[in-house]
């Protein structure tokens, strides 16, 4: 066999390999079928791979001719396989979609992002208002002793005011704080006047109905310095109330009693639903109570080593849930703790 015959011979084999490949490829219906064709025509034992591997055994002048022809054939085969693969993948994807019944025209479900609880947002808002007036933020423990929760707040064991607090006791002298007021004592013990603090935190009482939950949130305020008077208290509370509820609301102070303040007051804002005329929300009074306050009873100073002749102060305490309810017109306190997204999402 001379060179020309040899070339013709191999060329024919390559051509018929291509013809076979094209015919078989046409019949391929799945990716797995395609995979076996790929092995058959480009794998280690395929005609083209073997030809290219053995090219060294051909006479030198034949090598480039056979090499080029084989490489071109192999490239064509690989390109055709790739093309077919893309077609089949599209077909299989659509088949999968059809089988899984995915309706691409349906609106997406979206991802629910977490958000700040309304109580936290209102605490932050209140903190901002008081920080703007020069107050600092302080904290104290939720598990408290009888001493700080009652005794040092002028509420000894036999004091009638104790029965107003339905206390959770941990042991005889240890309890869950019923208010944030004990932090007044803790802070005064560790610091000297001037004191300007607010104290946000959780408090606990054995209560459960539309307006009471066993855990709720309070913010306490305490100011102690030389020459602090009731006028300072009034200005501070009014400024706060206008900031949080808006300037249109009226604010009034009503005489009240707390063991740790003297004189004491409860503070109301005018009802926003009836504008002060009286309605169901304000029980016909036109007013809604927002907090308790008063001048620090000088008796407290002896528990912390202050001289009552030297300093005076005022304190106030409010329930955050109540402030939220009045601000947003929410009528059931329990909604804050039920984690119903339909409620939470509104804020
Ligand atoms: N601790 C009181 C309560 O939980 C609220 C309160 C009233 C706090 C008057 C005060 C205050 O600091 O001066 O009902």
pLDDT single digits (tens) 287-299: 999 999 999 999 9
Give 56 Cα–ligand 1 centroid separation in angstroms. 100
Mutate to test the pocket of ligand 1, among 163, 204, 316 (most ligand atoms within 8 A of CB): 316
Mind listing the pLDDT tens digit for each residue in 101-115? Answer: 877 888 888 888 778
Q: Could you tell me which residues come within 8 angstroms of residue 247 by beta carbon, excluding any fewer than 6 positions away?
A: none
Highest mean pLDDT among 24-33, 47-56, 141-150: 141-150
Q: What is the mean pLDDT of residues 14-38?
A: 93
pLDDT at 164 over 90: no
Do 223 and 339 contact (CB within 8 A), yes or no?
no
pLDDT at 143 over 90: yes
CA 51-62-40 angle, 5° bins: 15
In Å, what is the CA distance from 184 to each residue of 17, 222, 248?
94, 7, 32
How does residue 94 score in pLDDT terms, banded at 50, 70 and 90? confident
pLDDT at 17 over 80: yes
Cβ–ligand 1 distance for 220 under 6 Å, the answer yes
What atom of ligand 1 comes closest to residue 294's alpha carbon?
A: 13
- pLDDT at residue 260, rounded to an integer: 97
- pLDDT at residue 274, rounded to an integer: 86
Cβ–ligand 1 distance for 253 under 6 Å, the answer no
Helix (H) or strand (E) holding 144: strand 143-145
| pTM summary value | 0.70
pLDDT at 1 over 70: no
User: Based on the number of CB atoms within 10 Å of its own CB, is 238 exposed (0-12), middle (13-18) or buried (19 or more)?
Assistant: middle
- pLDDT at residue 305, rounded to an integer: 97
Q: Could you tell me which residues come within 8 angstroms of residue 131 by beta carbon, excluding any fewer than 6 positions away?
A: 137
Peptide bond before residue 263 is cis, with ω within 30 degrees of 0: yes
- pLDDT at residue 314, rounded to an integer: 98
What atom of ligand 1 comes closest to residue 178's alpha carbon?
A: 4
Q: What is the mean pLDDT of residues 155-183?
A: 91
Beta-bridge mates of residue 225: 312
What atom of ligand 1 comes closest to residue 317's alpha carbon?
A: 8
Mutate to test the pocket of ligand 1, among 260, 267, 312 (most ligand atoms within 8 A of CB): 260
Residue % of the chain over a pLDDT of 70: 99
Mutate to test the pocket of ligand 1, among 155, 255, 293 (most ligand atoms within 8 A of CB): 293
CA distance 199 to 289: 20
CA distance 319 to 126: 12
Q: Which two tokens stand for residue 242?
A: 């206008």
How does residue 273 score in pLDDT terms, banded at 50, 70 and 90? confident
- pLDDT at residue 84, rounded to an integer: 94
Please state, rounded to an integer, the average pLDDT across all residues of the chain. Answer: 92
CA distance 260 to 210: 28
Q: What is the mean pLDDT of residues 30-46?
A: 93
Cβ–ligand 1 distance for 182 under 6 Å, the answer no
Q: Which two tokens stand for residue 65?
A: 């001719």
Cβ–ligand 1 distance for 249 under 6 Å, the answer no
Rg (CA), the chain: 42
CA distance 44 to 168: 81
Residue nearest to atom 2 of ligand 1 (CA): 317
Cβ–ligand 1 distance for 319 under 6 Å, the answer no
How does residue 62 score in pLDDT terms, banded at 50, 70 and 90? confident
How does residue 99 score in pLDDT terms, banded at 50, 70 and 90? confident
How does residue 179 score in pLDDT terms, banded at 50, 70 and 90? very high
Highest mean pLDDT among 35-39, 194-198, 245-249, 319-323: 194-198
Nearest to 177 by CA among 212, 158, 202: 202
pLDDT at 142 over 80: yes
Cβ–ligand 1 distance for 268 under 6 Å, the answer no
Give 319 Cα–ligand 1 centroid separation in angstroms. 9
CA 101-106-107 angle, 5° bins: 145
Of 8 and 318, more confident: 318
Domain formed by 118-344, architecture: 2-Layer Sandwich (3.30)
Mind listing the pLDDT tens digit for each residue in 187-245? Answer: 999 999 999 999 999 999 998 887 788 999 999 999 999 999 999 999 999 999 999 99
Cβ–ligand 1 distance for 148 under 6 Å, the answer no
In Å, what is the CA distance from 295 to each residue of 132, 234, 287?
22, 11, 23
Do 141 and 170 contact (CB within 8 A), yes or no?
no
How does residue 6 score in pLDDT terms, banded at 50, 70 and 90? confident
Core vs surface per residue 21-43: b (16+ CB within 10 A) or e? beeebeebeeeeebeebbeebbe
Q: Which two tokens stand for residue 126?
A: 């209140």
Cβ–ligand 1 distance for 167 under 6 Å, the answer no
CA distance 21 to 35: 13
Cβ–ligand 1 distance for 204 under 6 Å, the answer no
In Å, what is the CA distance from 309 to each residue of 212, 299, 303?
39, 11, 15
């Amino acid at each position: 066999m001379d060179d020309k015959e040899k070339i013709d011979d191999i060329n024919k084999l390559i051509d018929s390999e291509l013809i076979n490949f094209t015919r078989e490829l046409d019949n391929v219906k799945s990716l797995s079928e395609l995979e076996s064709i790929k092995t058959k025509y480009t794998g280690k034992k395929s005609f083209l791979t073997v030809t290219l591997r053995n090219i060294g055994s051909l006479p030198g002048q034949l090598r480039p001719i056979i090499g080029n022809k084989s490489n071109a054939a192999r490239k064509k085969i690989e390109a055709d396989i790739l093309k077919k693969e893309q077609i089949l993948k599209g077909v299989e994807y659509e088949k999968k979609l059809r089988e899984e019944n995915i309706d691409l025209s349906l609106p997406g479900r979206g991802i629910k992002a977490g958000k700040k609880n309304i109580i936290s947002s209102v605490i932050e808002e209140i903190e901002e208002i008081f920080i703007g007036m020069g107050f600092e933020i302080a904290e104290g423990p939720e598990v408290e002793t009888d001493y700080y929760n009652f005794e040092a707040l002028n509420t000894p064991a036999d004091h009638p005011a104790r029965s107003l607090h339905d206390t959770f006791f941990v042991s005889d002298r240890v309890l869950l704080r019923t208010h944030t007021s004990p932090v007044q004592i803790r802070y005064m013990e560790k610091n000297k006047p001037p004191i300007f603090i607010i104290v946000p935190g959780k408090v606990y009482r054995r209560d459960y109905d539309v307006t009471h939950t066993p855990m709720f949130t309070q913010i306490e305020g305490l100011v102690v310095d030389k020459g602090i008077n009731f006028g300072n208290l009034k200005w501070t509370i009014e400024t706060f109330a206008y900031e949080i509820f808006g300037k249109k609301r009226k604010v009034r102070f009503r005489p009240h009693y707390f063991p740790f303040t003297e004189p004491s007051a409860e503070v109301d804002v005018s009802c926003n639903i009836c504008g002060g005329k009286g309605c169901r929300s304000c029980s016909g009074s036109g007013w809604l109570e927002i907090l308790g306050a008063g001048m620090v009873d000088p008796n407290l100073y002896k528990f912390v080593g202050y001289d009552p002749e030297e300093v005076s102060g005022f304190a106030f305490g409010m329930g955050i849930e109540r402030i939220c309810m009045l601000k947003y017109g929410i009528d059931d306190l329990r909604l804050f703790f039920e984690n119903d997204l339909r409620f939470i999402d509104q804020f």
